[in-house]
Structure 1
Amino acid sequence: MDRQSVRSSNISSIGYDEKNEILEIEFLSGGIYQYLDVPNYVFEELMDAESQGKYFNAYVKDNYETTKIR
C-alpha cells in the first residue's frame, strides 16, 4: 500500500485502501499497523487534521480491528 509522509511527532506515514477500507499507519518507532473497516471520511479527516497524532488517538486507536504488519 502506498503511504504519504506526514509531519507528526508519532506517525511517519499514512495510507488508505478505499476499496477495502483499510487504513495503514507507519509509526516513527518503525511499527506498521492496518486498521480495518475504516470509512473514507475518517481517513480524510485524519489527513486534514491539524495534529494527526491527536486525531488518531481520539478517533482511530482502539476503535477499529487492528493488524500489526511490522
Structure 2
Amino acid sequence: MIEGAAFDAGESILCVRFRDSGTYFYFDVPEELFDGLCSAASTGAFFNERIKDRFRCERDPDQRRFIPAA
C-alpha cells in the first residue's frame, strides 16, 4: 500500500507515497507518529489506524519528490 514516507520535522508535514494513488501531504502530524509508521510491522495498518482521516491532507498536484529541508 505505502511505497515510501518522509517527514519534515520543522513543518510537521508527513509525506506518504502510495503505490496506486500517488503522493499526499499530511499536516500537523506529530513526529512520534512518523517514527511509529517507520517501525510498524504493517505500515498500511498503522497508517489506517493512526493517520488516515485524522489529519488535514492534500494530494501533491505536481507529484514532486518530497525532500525535507536539511
Aligned residue pairs total 61
**Of the candidates 39, 53, 56, which is equivalent to residue 65 of structure 1?**
56
SS of aligned partner of 2:55: coil
2:68 equivalent in structure 1: none
Task: Extract unaligned runs of 5+ from structure 1.
Answer: 1-9
After TM superposition, the score normalised by the length of structure 2 is 0.84
Identity %: 33
Q: Deviations along 1:6-33, whole A, 9 cap, x unmatched?
A: xxxx010100000000000000014100
SS of aligned partner of 1:26: strand
Q: Which has the higher contact order (CA 8 A, sep 6+)?
A: 2
- Higher-Rg member (1/2): 2
Tell me the C-alpha RMSD between the 2 structures. 0.8
Task: Extract unaligned runs of 5+ from structure 2.
Answer: 64-70
Does the alignment pair 1:13 with 2:4? Answer: yes
